[in-house]
Structure formats: structure tokens, C-alpha cells
Structure 1
Amino acid sequence: MINTPNLQTETHIYGDDTRLTTVRAEHCEALASRHIAHVAVIDAAAPYTIVRTRLSGSFLQVCLGGEGRTLLDGRWHRQSAGIASFAPAHALHAFHCLPDVRWQLCWVRFMPSSPRSLAGAMTPGLTHFDGQPLQHAILGLAQEMSVSADPGSCAAWVDLIERYVARMVDPWQREPRLNQMWTAVLADLGRDWKLDDLAGLANMSPEHLRRLCWKNFGRSPGKQLTTMRIAQAAHQLVTTSKKIEVVARNVGYINPFTFSNTFKRLTGFRPSEYRSKPRG
């Protein structure tokens, strides 16, 4: 039986049978200069459970082996080998091990100041990704930090980490039409965007746009738009004092009840509850 974590409470449970290798920015200037909070490789087992009720910086996680569950876009997904997930900043973020199944992961957590955190919703939610090169780069950095912590060598390892991250989180840059379209949308989230409007911006048919969005983001155009709107709303809720109704209008919601329901579905909290939560 799978026990779903309580998403209302900040939770960090590792257990006695979980092995973690991590490097943190406070000990590694090369990470700090790239606005990366920490990187890690983990071999986990139940009861390993993480719930962050408001993630301060975006979080890339790649499954190397085994299987676990990750919360994304308000739904639980099984995450197995070769699958990567990306949680945007300010989102409700959770993942946990399944009973009697080990779970091998590597991850990169970005600082709130990172461009990856500011534009997190432009990245795919779940996608296929070979995490072994990223794993080796993280372990290489950890080994260097444990031996001599040479600044030049550390910078080289972090550069490799950044390059592997870019392969996963920048998919729209390989498709210029998507890049142009979503950049325009991000600049005007308050507009009542229709599928035909988006297809027109991208200079393609609506059906072709659907295929490209599923391929690059793992979401339909409509769900990607909703993800971007709620991510921007979450950002405004925690970084400004704007009224909730104003935030809703800024991201394209005229009806405050629709906004509140959509926000809760994707984050786990009503906007007012979310604003009052401490950041983790």
C-alpha cells in the first residue's frame, strides 16, 4: 500500500537506509557563482520523503534507477530510470520512495536568484533524459571537494553540470518558433490567449503546436499556459504585496474563484494560504 505524504506540512525524512552525496554552495564557490544552491546523488529507500510547501528555487531531479513518486502540476507521477522532472520555484514540491523499492536520483537545486528559478515554468515537467552524465559530473565535483577543492577544477565540474542541465531544461531553444511564441506569451500572461492565437504566433497549425508542446514540455499548449500563469502568480504572491485579485488579473484570470481553484489544484494551497507559508 502506498502512503501519500501530507502536503500541508514541510517534511524531510531520510531514514537509516538512504545514502546521500551532496555539495552545497556555502562550501563551493563555483556553485554559488552559478546560483546553484546544491547538487546531490542519492540512493534512497522508504521512508524517504520530502515535502516542500513552497520551494524557493527551482529543482531538477533525474531518476537513475529504481522508482519513486514525484508531485508535479498538482498530480502524483511515478518516476523511473531515465525520467527527469523539473519543479518551478514557489511551487508545492514533494517526492517519496515506494515501499520495498530503492530509488536512485541525482538533482540540482537552484537559488531563487538563478535564471532557472525566474523562468522555471518554461521548462518541461516530465521528460526522458539520460542522467548518468549529470551523475558523473556531480560525483566528480564531490570527489574534488573532498580531496583538494581546487577552484579551477571545481569550476570545470560545475560547467559540465550546467551544460547537462541545459540539455534538459532548455528544450524550446531547439525549436525557435516555440521560443518566440512562449516568450511573447510570458510577456503578456493577462491576455485571453486561445489556441489559434498561439498557433498564429508560432506560424504553425494548432495540431502541429500540440505535438511540439507534448514533445518538448510533456504538456498540451493549454496546460503549459496554465502552468506559466500559476507559476507567475506564485512569484507575485511571495515577492509583492499586490492584492490577490490583482495578481489573478495580471496572469489572465478574471474570475477569482476560477483562479483560486486552479491555484490550489497546482500548488495544494489557496492563494491566501500560499502567501502566508514560509519558504523552504
Structure 2
Amino acid sequence: MQNSIIAMMPPRLRIFESQYHTPAKAAQEVFIVALRAGHLQASPDYRIERRTCAGHDLLLCQRGRGFVQTGGRTFPVEPGELAWLNGHHPHAHWADREDPWRLLWARLDGAVLDRLFEILGGPAAPVFRLLAPQRAAAAMRRIIRLLRQRPAALDALVHVQASALIGCLFEGRHTGLEGAVDSIPALAPGLRRVLTELTVYYYRPWRVEQMAELAGLSVPHFFRCFQKATGTTPIRFLRQERISQAKRRLLESRDSIKEIAEQVGYSDPFYFSRDFKQHTGMSPAQFRKRELGVTR
């Protein structure tokens, strides 16, 4: 009897993974980049509603059911279907109360996404029935893994997977677009060591000289190699990593902005807020308020 009662209990919200990224502006101009990505099991009262947000949310329903609302219309989403919500317009999504969905999701951004959304007929039909949902799910998981592992050339590698994901949508609408090849370039052990240290110990007061010593290279040679491998400078990479970690804490904790600034390596909360706004276009408080425009 006890087992049958447990089986009848509605699922609770479970966030299996949630990753954040702050791409450089140059990357956003040439790649499809990921701002966030994750995997969750919704609860019956799960609902997210926003007037606007950066980028485009792609929601892949693995099981259960849900709904999306955009352009004043509501669309059901079934297992094996993907919903595309353009964040530049008011939108909402929520779970079916009787059978809450399990989602893989990614928030993508890039100069070409608005045009791709139009070509695919997204404004009128934002829900896609996938011919091969397992391939779309694999691309989503690779995006999540890349954001977690943060390899060199992260934005280029995410672009490959985002292109493969969007290719699945074209395939479903019979317009034909080839997916991309998943390849990860080799990286010198010294640079790999530095990247690992920066992503794990981002809160430390790093100097370029320390990074070069860790890589076993002179400062000028390290600087050139790092920029060639990642497309950005060591300090910019560190700042982007700190901002990505700050995004997580702003949404997943109730810590003050001053506390979060210290946690991610900023001794001055004013400088942190200025840096955060430079990378995201809004203050930490504005980011938290906008992203937590959520009722569950």
C-alpha cells in the first residue's frame, strides 16, 4: 500500500543540471552561442512567464506534457517535440498538471537566430515534431556538457552542436539542412592545465604571470597561445567565467550582490556590478529580477 501511495504522488521540481555562460561579444557576432542550458523534471505548478529575455529558448520535451504561449496563442508540447520561444517577445511555458514534462533546454543567441526562426515558420508554428528526437537530445546534452567542462574554443564547439540541433528542426519541416560534425581540437597540456585551474579556482586573484608559469611558458608566448586557442585573452576569459558563476549564484541562492561579488573573485561590489553590466547589458539586480520572473 505504501508503494502505491508513493507512486501516485505528483513529481516535485528537480533541476538535474543548470549551466550558464557569458560569451564574448565577438563570439555572438559569428557563432550561435549558448547563454544557459539544463535538464529538469517539472512539478505540476511549474510555470515560467517573461515579457522579454536575451536569446531564444529551445525546450525539448522528453516525457510528460507541457504548453508554450507566444504571440497570444497557446501550443501543447508532447514527448519528442521541441518548442522554440523567441525571447525578444512576451512568452510563457508551463507543465501539464496531470503529467508534468521533463525537459532538456538551451537558451541560444546569435545574429542569425531571428532569421532562422522565421525561415522555419517559428512565429506561426513554434512547436516542432522531430523525426529523430534522440539526435536532438544528444546535441542538447553535448551543449550542457560543453558549458560544464568549458573547453578551449567553447563558443565554436557549442556552435557546432547548436547547428546540429537546428538541423533537426529543418529536417522535421523538410527543408533540408545538414548537421555539423562534432570535433574537439587538441590542446597543449600546459594550456589545458591553466583552463582547468581558471574554471575551478575562478575566485582567486589571478595574474597573467601566474598563468604563464603554470603553463610553463613565457608571458608573451603564453598570451599568444592562449588567445589563439580560446579566441580571447586570459583576463577576459577569467572575467567571463566569473560572470557565468555569478549568474548561477544570483538565481540559485539568496545571497546579496556584495556576497556574490566576493564569492566569484571581486573585492569591490561596485566594480563587479559594472563588469556584470558590461557583459550582460544589465545590473546583477536587474538580471536576478528578470530571470526570477518565475512562479512554480
Normalising by structure 2, we get a TM-score of 0.49
CA distance in 1, matches of 2:262, 2:221: 30
Match of 2:258 among 232, 245, 252: 245
Shift of 1:215: 2.1
CA distance in 1, matches of 2:158, 2:254: 39
Q: Tell me, yes or no, if the aligned pair for 2:59 and 2:105 is still in contact at 8 Å.
A: no
CA distance in 2, matches of 1:277, 1:142: 34
CA distance in 2, matches of 1:237, 1:124: 26
Q: Does 1:185 align with 2:198?
A: yes
Q: Does 1:9 align with 2:22?
A: no
Q: Tell me, yes or no, if the aligned pair for 2:53 and 2:290 is still in contact at 8 Å.
A: no
Match of 1:208 among 221, 224, 229: 221
Q: Tell me, yes or no, if the aligned pair for 1:50 and 1:96 is still in contact at 8 Å.
A: no
Q: Does 1:272 align with 2:285?
A: yes
CA distance in 2, matches of 1:10, 1:24: 19
Shift of 1:175: 2.6
For the aligned residue pairs, the C-alpha RMSD in angstroms reads 5.0
Relative to structure 1, the CA distance from residue 137 to residue 175 in structure 2 (aligned partners, 3 Å threshold; closer, same or farther) is farther
Shift of 1:194: 0.7
Q: Does 1:217 align with 2:247?
A: no
Q: How does 1:167-182 map to 2 (within 5 A)?
A: 167=183, 171=185, 174-182=187-195
Per-residue CA deviations over 1:53-102 (Å, capped at 9, x if unaligned) read 9xx965578xxxxxxxx3xxxxxxx67xxxxxxxxxxxxxxx5449xx98
Q: Tell me, yes or no, if the aligned pair for 2:140 and 2:165 is still in contact at 8 Å.
A: no
Q: How does 1:135-150 map to 2 (within 5 A)?
A: 135=164, 138-139=167-168
SS of equivalent residue, structure 1 residue 26: strand
Find the counterpart in structure 1 of residue 60 from structure 2: 24
CA distance in 2, matches of 1:12, 1:265: 17
Find the counterpart in structure 2 of residue 230 from structure 1: 243
Relative to structure 1, the CA distance from residue 254 to residue 208 in structure 2 (aligned partners, 3 Å threshold; closer, same or farther) is same
Match of 2:272 among 252, 259, 271: 259
CA distance in 1, matches of 2:158, 2:53: 28
CA distance in 1, matches of 2:265, 2:87: 32
Count of residues in correspondence between the two structures: 192
Gaps of 5+ in 1: 1-7, 14-21, 29-36, 43-47, 62-69, 71-77, 80-94, 147-160
CA distance in 2, matches of 1:102, 1:209: 43
Find the counterpart in structure 2 of residue 116 from structure 1: 146
Normalising by structure 1, we get a TM-score of 0.51
Shift of 1:242: 1.7
CA distance in 2, matches of 1:245, 1:230: 14
Q: Tell me, yes or no, if the aligned pair for 1:127 and 1:218 is still in contact at 8 Å.
A: no
2:60 counterpart letter in structure 1? R
CA distance in 1, matches of 2:140, 2:165: 19
